[in-house]
Amino acid sequence: MIVAPETRDLVELARRLEQWLSSRLPGATNIRVTDLAYPRGAGQSHETVLFDASWNHGRRAHTQGCVVRIKPRSFTVFPDTLFEEQYRVMKRLAEGGEVRVARPLWFEEDAAILGNPFFVMEKKQGRVPVSIPPYAREGWLRDASPEQRRTLWRSAVEQLAAIQRVPVAELGFLKGPAGAEQGLAQEWDKYVRFTEWLEEVAPQPVLRDALELLRAQWPAHDPEGLVWGDARIGNMMFDHDFNVVAVMDWEQPSLGGALHDLAWFCTLAETMHGPNSTYGAHLEGMGSREETIALWEALCGKSAAGLEWYELFTHFKMTCTGIRLGHLRGQPMMDEPTMRKRLRVA
């Protein structure tokens, strides 16, 4: 199922990309863009299109699998688009080699070409545990053996921990506003502003109550670190040996601290495939919350003390996103009692 926020004429897109590539590939001839397709079951927030490019340079023929990612126009899920920032994060990670990501190739600021700025990255080959339909209900991961799932889980946690080995001093372009430049203060500021943004449409008493609760229980442990932003196996690509090929979807990075991604990963694992899964489909072989925490701590050398607060904050973040998607689709995704139960507010 194609879940892109918007789609376009792929023949026309191919023509425009061919013209654009001629400026990015000086001296190239016979430039062709073929096999355009939208990914299925993933990619709800950005228009993302897969394609293959080929060209000649002198007597040599070249081919490159590509992905174009276009900045959202009207379907904006987050108040901070951070479009150039996600490209710069991926570029730094590709160059540093700590984390497996698709290599960014080109960034284009001129909105006249495709209607908004965009960037192109290499196309990786592999399989993604998609959300639509839920991977725990059907598909290749559901059909895998417990041993294969165990390999996948370990490889995923290894990459999650590898993110915490990236020096934050090299990512100064991700700093937040004055007074909330990094650490928990940055992520907190982002979601306070998210709440205010949602209130431009309608009051959000549940979110306000949840912020008050979270503030009253403010954690003492705030280790530094890069935030991926949507840390889950559904944003990872795996090869046929069940090892991570690429960590994807860097649209909400920050310097908010090490525990945000771990909390998000554990929360989504429980929701999607844990023993008490929302979908009622437990996947044997996937590591438990306790195993994930222990492996993550061992691999990155950071403590997960106080993770429970960050997991509650994760539910808050997801609720903000759910409310925004409801606004965009014209249909509420959760009622107030459900939100209060989820956020543990009376």
Question: DSSP letters of 252-277?
Answer: S-BS--THHHHHHHHHHHHHHHSTT-
> Measured between alpha carbons, how far is 147 from 264 in angstroms, rounded to an integer?
24
> Measured between alpha carbons, how far is 70 from 271 in angstroms, rounded to an integer?
29
Per-residue confidence (pLDDT) for residue 74, from 0 to 100: 78
Per-run averaged pLDDT (10 residues), the chain, 346 residues: 72 97 95 94 76 94 97 89 96 97 97 96 96 92 97 98 97 96 98 98 97 98 97 97 97 97 97 84 94 98 98 98 93 91 93
Q: Which region, left, alpha or beta, applies to residue 96 given φ > 0 means left and ψ of -120 to 50 means alpha? A: alpha
> Measured between alpha carbons, how far is 332 from 327 in angstroms, rounded to an integer?
7
Q: 236-238 and 118-122: which strand pairing?
A: unpaired
Per-residue confidence (pLDDT) for residue 46, from 0 to 100: 81
> Measured between alpha carbons, how far is 267 from 54 in angstroms, rounded to an integer?
42
Q: What is the pTM of this model?
A: 0.93
> Measured between alpha carbons, how far is 212 from 187 in angstroms, rounded to an integer?
15
Per-residue confidence (pLDDT) for residue 40, from 0 to 100: 78
| Long-range residue pairs from 145-150, CB within 8 A, at least 24 positions apart, any chain | 145/285, 146/284, 146/285, 147/285, 148/242, 148/285, 149/242, 149/283, 149/284, 149/285, 149/286, 150/285, 150/286, 150/287
Integer angstrom CA distances of residue 80 from 5, 195, 253: 17, 12, 10
| Long-range residue pairs from 322-327, CB within 8 A, at least 24 positions apart, any chain | 323/198, 323/204, 323/207, 324/77, 324/78, 324/194, 324/197, 324/198, 325/77, 327/198, 327/201
Per-residue confidence (pLDDT) for residue 275, from 0 to 100: 86
User: In this predicted model, what pLDDT tens digit does every residue of 115-162 receive, in sequence order?
Assistant: 999 999 999 999 999 988 899 999 999 999 999 999 999 999 999 999
Q: Nearest Cα to 45, choosing from 82, 11, 19?
A: 82
Q: 244-247 and 236-238: which strand pairing?
A: antiparallel
Given a contact cutoff of 8 angstroms between Cβ atoms, the answer to whether 86 and 132 are in contact is no
Per-residue confidence (pLDDT) for residue 137, from 0 to 100: 92
Per-residue confidence (pLDDT) for residue 278, from 0 to 100: 79
> Measured between alpha carbons, how far is 144 from 127 in angstroms, rounded to an integer?
13
Per-residue confidence (pLDDT) for residue 70, from 0 to 100: 95
What phi and psi, each to the nearest 5 degrees, are found at residue 94? -65, -40
Per-residue confidence (pLDDT) for residue 73, from 0 to 100: 83
